[in-house]
A and B are shown apart, each in its own frame.
Chain A
Amino acid sequence: AQTVTQSQPEMSVQEAETVTLSCTYDTSENNYYLFWYKQPPSRQMILVIRQEAYKQQNATENRFSVNFQKAAKSFSLKISDSQLGDTAMYFCARRFEGAQKLVFGQGTRLTINP
């Protein structure tokens, strides 16, 4: 099955700490895109960061960075200097080249404590 798995249902850290969310996926395709989306209580799904599978360099967006291990099919998200506004559900997702369908993981509920 072409699945995306997030093994951490919940995580909690103190403000300003660094936290890493894990994601693994299963695919036989070679060309695909990986994403991390954030869904706060407002429900709006917000794109945090994306990674193209053909790029070896890990993507970075300000305090957010990924560790993409293609051979291991692993795609973790690191949040540095965490802020209270980072509290949300985080979803890992995969999309194949040539398709619009996103396949999501089950999500990780992240709480940043003051």
Chain B
Amino acid sequence: DAGVTQSPTHLIKTRGQQVTLRCSPKSGHDTVSWYQQALGQGPQFIFQYYEEEERQRGNFPDRFSGHQFPNYSSELNVNALLLGDSALYLCASSLIGGLAGGRYEQYFGPGTRLTVT
């Protein structure tokens, strides 16, 4: 049973560029959440996707956008990259299955390390 997978593992971009990060949820899961973890900090919630729609969003600018596909996989896009966007980006999946908020745990992927120069 494959867990949450993310690609790429590492990425180096230049200020002003755009980046796309990818996540495949754990088998059987229908919800994907994205988190940004700056060095030495706890993860910060970016947004959550369920049924191909953004359901909840954290305090991140519109430069951060996402998408969820019919197979439940997800992409995180960041436009106009800033040096401050350098971080570990974590994807977490869970199963809501129609239950409000769900009672199932979030499983995290290994993350994508983004470096903006």
Contacts and interface: CB of A to CB of B under 8 A. Distances in A.
Given A50-B105, A107-B42, A100 B33 contact: yes
Interface residues of B, number: 30
Contacts, number: 62
B87 to A, nearest CB: 12
Nearest to A50: B105
A96 B42 contact: no
A81 interface: no
Contacts of A100: 31, 33, 48, 50, 55-56, 94, 96, 101-102, 106
Interface centre among A96, A100, A104, A105 (most CB of B within 10 A): A100
Contacts of A43: 88, 110-111, 113
B72 to A, nearest CB: 14
A42 B110 contact: yes
A104 B82 CA distance: 24
B113 to A, nearest CB: 8
Contacts of B92: 45, 102
Nearest to A31: B101
B109 interface: yes
Band of interface residues on A: 20 to 34
A99 B43 contact: no
A86 to B, nearest CB: 18
25 contacts: A4-B42, A43-B88, A43-B110, A44-B109, A45-B43, A45-B108, A47-B106, A50-B105, A91-B42, A93-B42, A97-B101, A98-B100, A98-B101, A100-B48, A101-B33, A101-B45, A101-B48, A102-B33, A102-B35, A102-B106, A104-B43, A104-B44, A105-B42, A107-B40, A107-B41
Interface of B: 31, 33, 35, 40-45, 48, 50, 55-56, 58, 88, 90, 92, 94, 96, 100-102, 105-111, 113
